[in-house]
Amino acid sequence: MKHIFQQGKDASAPVLLLLHGTGGNEHDLLPIAEMISPDSSVLSVRGNVSENGMPRFFRRLAEGVFDEEDLIFRTKELYDFLDEAAEKYGFNRENMVAVGYSNGANIAGSLLFHYERALAGAILFHPMVPRRGVELPNLESTPVFIGAGKHDPICAPAETEELNELLKSAGADVTLKWQPGGHQLTREEVDQAKEWLDWDSERCSLL
């Protein structure tokens, strides 16, 4: 998978897995990573699917309708790539926190839905429910931050609440923050994600 790896200053800080939205690329979220955790190593990945020339992480059948077969395949593809990248670059695979926006948040959510301990945590900006009617792995104490818009035309608030409950039911420690706007990623959300990650790092160090 096309990607960028940047070695961080602090080996104990979480490795940030950056996952862009539809039409984005591996460069899009690098400034967000710098704001959220400037000392972290960063692995930023480009989706392998093209929709009318726009990179995505998995196919969809229509707006808001996922191609589940492709979603499952692409989720495994990404999961396997993370293992390979950890070995290649020598970072701690068990200390990886995903930062995903829109389609990138959905593939990050799919990692959580399909694989136990796929991620140490996740920051999901404007995610949807990846799949329904499946049993989630044990996500006990996995920290997840969800940033959502109250007037998001792509991801309705009811869907956000559903994802929140599904993750919690699997044991995840979910923090949900609402914004008054729509599907766009805001600076306020990024600042909240930074505060959440700082808090969680401090909490984890006390365990």
Q: How far apart are CA 156 and CA 84, in angstroms?
A: 35
- In sequence order, which residues have a C-beta less than 8 Å from that of residue 114 and are 6 or more positions away? 72, 75, 76, 79, 137
Out of 102, 114, 126, 200, the active site residue is 102
DSSP code for 95: G
183 is an active site residue: yes
102 is an active site residue: yes
126 is an active site residue: no
DSSP 3-state assignment of 32? helix
Out of 67, 173, 183, 201, the active site residue is 183
- In sequence order, which residues have a C-beta less than 8 Å from that of residue 85 and are 6 or more positions away? 3, 5, 43, 91
> 136, 144 in Cβ contact below 8 A?
no
Out of 28, 40, 114, 152, the active site residue is 152
Q: Nearest 5°: CA angle at 24, between 36 and 39?
A: 20
> Known catalytic residues?
102, 152, 183
